[in-house]
Amino acid sequence: MSLELQFEETIAHDQRLEPRDWVPDAYRSTMVRMIAQHAHSEIIGMQPEGNWITRAPSLRRKAILLAKVQDEAGHGLYLYSAAETLGADRAELTEKLVTGRQKYSSIFNYPTLTFADVGVIGWLVDGAAICNQVPLCRSSYGPYARAMIRICKEESFHQRQGYELLMTMMRGTEQQRAMVQESVDRWWWPSLMMFGPPDADSSHTAQSMEWKIKRHTNDELRQRFVDMSVPQADALGVTLPDPDLRWNAEREHHDFGEIDWAEFKQVVSGNGPCNAQRVAHRKAAHDEGAWVREAAAAHARKNDERRGSAA
Ligand SMILES: [Fe+2]
Ligand SMILES: [Fe+2]
């Protein structure tokens, strides 16, 4: 059987492609782009919430937030490793991130202004990430699909801690309730943008669906997220900032208002409120870590030499 046919058969039978398998160049580059973008999002995503670790209102909240931000670092590391199985070079991926040649999720370019943002990010941003990522557990590339299983388990903890924090604040003072509502008002629309452009404008969707890299379109996932969030907002007692949001009995889904795609394009192309700051911070952290990477490489070299001379 030709390699091409074998590749197509694997996908048709819903089996996984593994690092040893032949894949077309376009599949490999699509997969690397997608995994790298995901890895970068996990790593950059540590910044908005990391901003609140030193100012968490209690030891308990600090411990939870620290654990969550550390999880995101772990997600980034699994994903860079998954990209390496496709022949990508980790240093090169980082270089592409800090020079703006590879993207990360637009959501992390918004600032975290109050502690309520920690709760709302957990609820909405990690919630949207779960909607996006659960179907990726069945993605056609094995190492990515398997990484996603563990990541989704941790994301579900992230969402719960956020929701629980918001529940606590909503049971608190008038001021705390206002703080939660103000935060929801800022994060709702950017969360909807996390699913990417509308299907009609999404250049990668059709091919990614055909290769079973993606299982649902951007608009399908966005609808799922809206339908899931409305009853959760009701239970919390917050209002989602969309006057057009209402149940459509005929469609059996919620209708919702028009997303500001001009804003999305601005943020994606580097002009969001925090893009420059996020990338500069990442670059500084990478530069400051150079001595650690050099020391580790020198240590590995010495060990090899020692082993060589012993043999
Ligand atoms: Fe994550
Ligand atoms: Fe998360």
**Ion ligand 2: protein residues whose beta carbon lies under 5 Å:** 126, 155, 158
- Whole-number Å distance, alpha carbon 155 to ligand 2 midpoint, is 5
Neighbours of 136 (CB within 10 A): 21
Instruction: Give distance in angstroms: CA of 299 to centre of ligand 2.
Output: 34
* Tens place of pLDDT per residue across the chain (311 aa): 799 999 999 999 989 999 999 999 999 999 999 999 999 999 999 999 999 999 999 999 999 999 999 999 999 999 999 999 999 999 999 999 999 999 999 999 999 999 999 999 999 999 999 999 998 898 999 999 999 999 999 999 999 999 999 999 999 999 999 999 999 999 999 999 999 999 888 777 788 888 888 888 999 999 999 999 999 999 999 999 999 999 999 999 999 999 999 999 999 989 999 999 999 999 999 999 999 999 999 999 999 999 988 77
Q: Is 290 left (phi over 0), alpha (psi -120 to 50) or beta?
A: alpha
Ligand nearest to the CA of 41: 1
Between the CA of 153 and the centroid of ligand 2 the distance, in Å, is 10
- Pick from 77, 9, 15: nearest CA to 43: 77
In angstroms, what is the span from residue 302 Cα to ligand 2's centroid? 38
pTM over 0.85: yes
d(CA 73, CA 49): 12
